[in-house]
Amino acid sequence: MANDYSNKTDEELVFLMKDGSATVSGNAFTELYERYSSRVFAYIRRVVNDQEQAEDLFQETFYKFYQNVRATPNNGTIIGYLITIARNLCLNYKRDKKATLSIDDVNLNNYSKSNDYEETELMELVTMSMDLLEIEYKEPLILRVYNGMNYNEIAEICNTSESNARSRVHRAKQKIKTILMPYLKDLAK
């Protein structure tokens, strides 16, 4: 039955969620969930860098989306709206969480399925360097690199201009290079 919804546009599915029966609304929500859940989870996971907390924030994102579907903007994209909800939840989480990182928090198996030690170490370093970035740089980088969003979408989600979004992504890359430079020199030896 959910397959009947796969050929519908996002706008049609949102309309069905708003004005359909409970069954129709549920099926429309399920289709939107299937379309965007992996991208939303990937975004949250990269921002909070904590599997359990990411799962909680992910569930809360879709719960809030379902509860507030009537407020869904007609001119924006559904993925943009979902990422905006996720972003706000992540910012609240980051604000409330103490800024600590222990070596136990880094699970190498999550970042690389390779047994190659150097590749695993490099992935750990990249992840840790991303954690050192301020959220204003980290977030646009994640949206661009891991979610494949264009700068206009990033600007809308981050509530900034397109040129500022482009600048933040560039600065984030530069900061990561600066952070990694000593480690990359060591790895090259």
Max Cα separation, the chain? 64
Instruction: Give me the helices (H) in 5-50, please.
Output: 10-19, 22-48
pLDDT (0 to 100) of residue 10: 86
Alpha-carbon span 155 to 133, nearest angstrom: 18
What distance lies between CA 51 and its chain's CA centroid?
Answer: 13
CA–CA gap between residue 31 and residue 14 (Å, rounded): 10
Q: What is the pLDDT of residue 20?
A: 73
Which pLDDT does position 22 carry in this prediction? Answer: 81
Cα pseudo-dihedral 160, 142, 17, 72, rounded to 10: -10
**Segments of the chain scoring below 50 in pLDDT:** 1-2, 99-115
Q: Tell me the pTM.
A: 0.64
**Helix, strand, coil shares, percent, the chain, to 5:** 80, 0, 20
14 CB neighbour count, 10 Å cutoff? 22
Cα–Cα distance, 174 to 79 (Å, whole number): 27
Predicted pLDDT of residue 159: 87
What pLDDT score does 158 carry?
A: 87
Residue carrying the six token digits 């136990």: 104
